[in-house]
Structure 1
Amino acid sequence: MSQDENIVWHTQTVSREKKQVHKGHKPVLLWYTGLSGSGKSTIANAVESKLFELGCHTYLLDGDNVRMGLNKGLTFSDEDRIENIRRISEVAKLFVDAGLIVSTAFISPFATDRAQARSIMAKGEFIEVFIDTPIEVCESRDPKGLYKKARAGEIPNFTGISSAFDVPISPEIHVKTAQQSIEQSVEQIIQYLKEKEVIKL
């Protein structure tokens, strides 16, 4: 008998439905994806601030922050990137189960990993937000100096330079930051949540 056969899912007394009623909004996962420097964390933070103002219960899982704890020790190899996203997908699912509007700001470059994250969520609870920023704009920003290091060969497997980024084919929300401000991007995302009745205001 394998160890897995001795593990049984424990059903909680406080159901997801009760949590949703208690919080006053639907639980969803806003999955921000885009190149380094595209503005994922900036926009995700701004959206969370707006949701907080509206009385929503939220949590933001940022790529760098998670790598300092839960995913400490993982590299940026393709294999570790896959494990990084697998772990964060499972954590995000738990937060959604708790009734929160969860945001994850990760490059998550591989379409298969994003599809896997979507597959473990209930229908309608995974909202892919593609922060579409041209690489030349990302590189001109280079807030952490990573592109400069990647161009110098100091960072291997750097997305957009020496590692691939699979552009989302049909994201729920397509944010084109080269054509609109942060405020407009936030409003676009909030409006989507209102249209889908995630938040009712």
Structure 2
Amino acid sequence: MSNINKQALREAAEKVNSGDWSYEEFDRLDLPGGSFVKIDGRDAVYCLNKPVGGIKQSRAVIAFIATFNPKVALALLDELDTAQHTAAVDHEAACSLVAENEELKRRIAELESKNGNLRTIAHEQNELAIRASLDSNNATVEMGRLHKRIAELEARTVTLPDRKSELFWPGNGFEFDNLGYVIAVENAIRAAGIGVKGE
């Protein structure tokens, strides 16, 4: 149905009373097989003569006119307009989605080409991370060992010889044996497990 025909149908339907349409048949001696359409309870359209096709056809045409009244025609035209508008909006959305889809395909192809490089870089980064983790673990173990050693060394006590001991005041006790005391101190340090370097 072209726009011109739809517009003409709409204009024709809007000119007609769109009240309640009904169909009735009658049989009178002078008018056998008659039928008519009532609009808002008043007679509006009659079929009194026998048309081509006979009484049955005549009544069917009048019943159709009553059923396909202006209200129905306008409602169908409104539905058609709504459907055409929806179709136009859907078409526009579909075109937009096609364009977006093409852009996404292009972007996917671009990312897939970069992905190969990223996989290589990721593999190298993973190897570096593993090495760094191993180095970190080794450093942690070594630091733990050194802390333990420091704690052991700090826990050692060296008991130095008593300077007042008569061992270092030989003879009459007036002269201190400095060399003997130094040797005794070195021996005490060695006994605690500490190496002594000296001249």
**Greater share of strand:** 1
TM norm. shorter chain > 0.5: no
**Greater share of helix:** 2
Q: Which has the larger radius of gyration?
A: 2
TM-score by structure 1 length? 0.20
TM-score by structure 2 length? 0.20
